[in-house]
């Protein structure tokens, strides 16, 4: 009976849910410059303020925690369940076709816009789950708290700030990954490489290279400026590189220099195989150029060999590994900048349970030294996270999933990291379903399947009842 009531409630509130998601999506909430009351910039602060208004208007007790996160409570009882979601988004790039990134648009059952899937849509689904439990009058013995943060995409300092003041709830889930349930999150390491060299004006030469916007996004665009190369040579190497990598190139002559723009396909860094990295494609081209001998070219070519195009597992730099529980290493060069006296590159690595500082960090350091570049001394492995699959909490989540979908529930591992990574009994639950169409999270034309989001909200409500109900 309750299951039918929850389904009816969510269907009756479908349009309101879409409107609340759209209201938040219209706010450009990627990280900006810190300001008083806005530790992550004006955009995230505006999203936090609007979310507080939405939650408060629906009758929940809300609180702003120093501009880092907001909370919405169902009651004043001791906490039984925390639900963690985030309002910040990754920056947008060129190439959106369905709508502008911050102009949400519903096409069929898909709501397009930056943040619809990651993570504003799931955040609103959790809010409506709390509304359903409250308005249906289900008695609760403990509190369910919705926690909405503003720095998940840039290191989760918001959640660290919050949990430095508040103890963890006995159970926590984040609707920021996949169903049935994510009980293992890979470890991570973010190698930051630096190289310096003497300036050389000898032609032909490379003057500048820039690519990437965020370390956890496979870049779809990168640019270079070169000087002194014959146009026919550049175009020939560009065509060969496209044939090898699939990355395409635009060449433009201006004031004696050639501007090269590489076009690939963006993707979440935890799934580099879904993208086509414009930076590594461009470095493939640049390493093949008949440039004048220089220290720059020696170091650039050596570095390019550590991160060749298409190597998404760290084979070339010596860290490829995998285990049964958490899968294979992923490794992707997502930010690169070069000028006449130095370059730097930033890499996103998602590491399986078998990874250690000895078999990852030290191997990367040795490879960097051999290539003549420096690995930042602060580079260190962030350990993986695991909640036992047979724990009562995970089994409750899997039971709800099976009841509402009719599909077998199982605990899974992912390469992405969520807010729950450092919480003792924290897992990810939703909102992507097995076999569903890729929602382009972190990519162009991001969308959320509204039918699936409504079903997610029904399941979240059932979880609240099972964990917090009398």
Instruction: Using CB atoms within 10 Å of the CB of residue 399, give its burial: 0 to 12 exposed, 13 to 18 middle, 19+ buried.
Output: middle
Question: Can you say whether the dihedral through the CA atoms of 268, 153, 346, 282 is positive or negative?
Answer: positive
317 touches 153 (CB < 8 A): no
Cβ neighbours of 446 (radius 10 Å): 25
Mean of the pLDDT values across residues 401-416? Answer: 93
Q: How far apart are CA 24 and CA 46, in angstroms?
A: 9
Structure tokens at 330: 């992923």
Distances (CA, A) of 171 to 80, 100, 144, 420, 461: 6, 38, 10, 10, 15
**Three-state secondary-structure class, residue 38:** strand
* CA separation for the pair 397, 201 (Å, rounded): 63
Flag whether pLDDT at 143 surpasses 90.
Answer: yes
The reported pLDDT for the residue numbered 468 is 98
Q: Is residue 440 a contact partner of residue 274, using CB atoms and an 8 Å limit?
A: no
Instruction: Out of 20, 152, 334, 348, pick the active-site residue.
Output: 152
Q: Which class for 347: exposed (0-12), middle (13-18), buried (19 or more C-beta within 10 A)? A: buried
Task: Please say if the pLDDT value at position 1 is more than 80.
Answer: no
**pLDDT band with cut points at 50, 70 and 90 for residue 416:** confident
> What's the pLDDT score for residue 325?
87
Structure-token pair, residue 243: 């044939």
Mean pLDDT of 70-82: 97
Q: What does the pLDDT average to over 30-36?
A: 96
Nearest to 278 by CA among 295, 266, 292, 291: 266
Helix (H) or strand (E) holding 11: helix 2-12
**CA separation, residue 274 to residues 112, 115, 221, 251, 271 (Å):** 19, 19, 15, 26, 6
Q: Angle CA(376)–CA(384)–CA(212) in degrees, nearest 5? A: 45
Is the predicted pLDDT of residue 180 greater than 90, yes or no?
Answer: yes
- The closest alpha carbon to 128, from 431, 470, 439, 447, belongs to 431
Per DSSP, the residues of 179-195 read SSEEEEE-EEE--EEEE
Long-range contacts of residues 451-454, Cβ cutoff 8 Å, at least 24 apart: 451/109, 453/17, 453/121, 453/122, 453/125, 454/10, 454/11, 454/14, 454/17, 454/125
Residues 6+ apart with CB under 8 A from 53: none
Task: Determine the pLDDT at residue 198.
Answer: 97
Give the pLDDT mean for 288-296. 98
Q: Is the pLDDT of residue 362 over 90?
A: yes
Q: What is the largest CA-CA distance in the chain?
A: 79
> How confident is the model over 193-230, as pLDDT tens digits?
999 999 999 999 999 999 998 899 999 999 999 999 99
At 242-260, the pLDDT tens digits run 999 999 999 999 989 999 9
User: pLDDT-derived band of residue 41, with 50, 70 and 90 as boundaries?
Assistant: very high
Which residue from 26, 210, 227 is spatially nearest to 115, judged by alpha carbons?
A: 26
**pTM of the predicted structure, to 2 decimals:** 0.76
152 noted as active-site residue: yes
Does the active-site annotation cover 119? no
Pairing mode, if any, of strands 181-185 and 385-386?
antiparallel
Report yes or no: 440 and 187 within 8 Å, Cβ to Cβ.
no
Residues 124, 144 contacting (CB under 8 angstroms): no
pLDDT of residue 431: 94
Confidence of residue 308 (pLDDT cuts 50, 70, 90): very high
For residue 28 the two structure tokens come to 């450009």
Q: What is the mean pLDDT of the chain?
A: 96
CA–CA distance, 427 with 177 (Å, rounded to integer): 10
The SS3 assignment for 455 reads: helix
* Residues 392, 395, 396: CA angle, nearest 5 degrees: 85
Q: What proportions of the chain, in percent to the nearest 5, are helix, strand and coil? A: 35, 25, 40
Q: Is residue 401 within 8 Å of 431, Cβ to Cβ? A: no
Among 20, 30, 88, 119, the active-site one is 88
């Amino acid at each position: 009976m309750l299951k039918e009531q929850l389904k009816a409630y969510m269907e009756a509130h479908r349009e309101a849910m879409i409107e609340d998601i759209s209201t938040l999506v219209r706010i450009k909430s990627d990280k900006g410059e810190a300001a008083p009351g806005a530790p992550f910039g004006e955009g995230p602060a505006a999203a936090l303020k609007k979310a507080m208004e939405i939650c408060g208007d629906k009758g929940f007790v809300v609180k702003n925690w120093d501009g880092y996160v907001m909370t919405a409570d169902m009651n004043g009882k001791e906490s039984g369940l925390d639900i963690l979601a985030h309002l910040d988004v990754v920056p947008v790039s060129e190439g959106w076709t369905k709508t502008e990134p911050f102009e949400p648009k519903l096409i069929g059952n898909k709501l397009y816009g930056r943040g619809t899937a990651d993570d504003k849509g799931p955040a609103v689904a959790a809010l409506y789950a709390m509304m359903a439990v409250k308005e249906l009058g289900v008695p609760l013995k403990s509190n369910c708290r919705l926690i909405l943060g503003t720095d998940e995409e840039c290191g989760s300092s918001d959640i660290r700030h919050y949990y430095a003041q508040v103890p963890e709830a006995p159970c926590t889930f984040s609707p920021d990954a996949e169903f049935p349930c994510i009980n293992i999150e890979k470890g991570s390491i973010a190698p930051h490489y630096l190289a310096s060299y003497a300036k050389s004006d000898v032609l032909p030469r490379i003057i500048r290279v820039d690519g990437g916007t965020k370390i956890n996004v496979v870049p779809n665009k990168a640019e270079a400026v070169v000087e002194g190369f014959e146009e026919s040579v550049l175009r020939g190497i560009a065509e060969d590189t496209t044939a090898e990598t699939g990355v395409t190139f635009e060449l433009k002559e201006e004031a004696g220099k050639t501007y090269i723009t590489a076009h690939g396909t963006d993707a979440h860094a935890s799934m580099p195989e879904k993208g086509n990295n414009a930076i590594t494609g461009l470095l493939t081209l640049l390493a093949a150029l008949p440039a004048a001998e220089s220290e720059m070219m020696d170091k650039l070519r050596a570095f390019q060999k550590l991160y060749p195009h298409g190597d998404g597992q760290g084979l070339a730099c010596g860290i490829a590994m995998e285990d049964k529980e958490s899968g294979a290493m992923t490794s992707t060069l997502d930010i690169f900048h070069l000028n006449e006296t130095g370059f730097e590159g930033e890499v996103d690595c998602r590491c399986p349970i078998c990874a250690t500082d000895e078999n990852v960090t030290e191997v990367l350091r040795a490879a960097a030294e051999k290539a003549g570049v420096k690995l930042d001394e602060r580079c260190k492995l962030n350990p993986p996270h695991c909640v036992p699959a047979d724990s009562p909490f995970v089994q409750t989540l899997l039971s709800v999933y099976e009841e509402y979908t009719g599909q077998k529930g199982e605990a899974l591992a992912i390469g992405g990291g969520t807010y729950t990574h450092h919480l003792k009994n924290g897992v990810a639950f939703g909102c992507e379903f097995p076999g569903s169409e890729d929602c382009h999270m972190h990519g162009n034309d991001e969308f959320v399947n509204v039918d699936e989001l409504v079903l997610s909200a029904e399941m979240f409500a059932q979880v609240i009842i099972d964990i917090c109900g009398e």
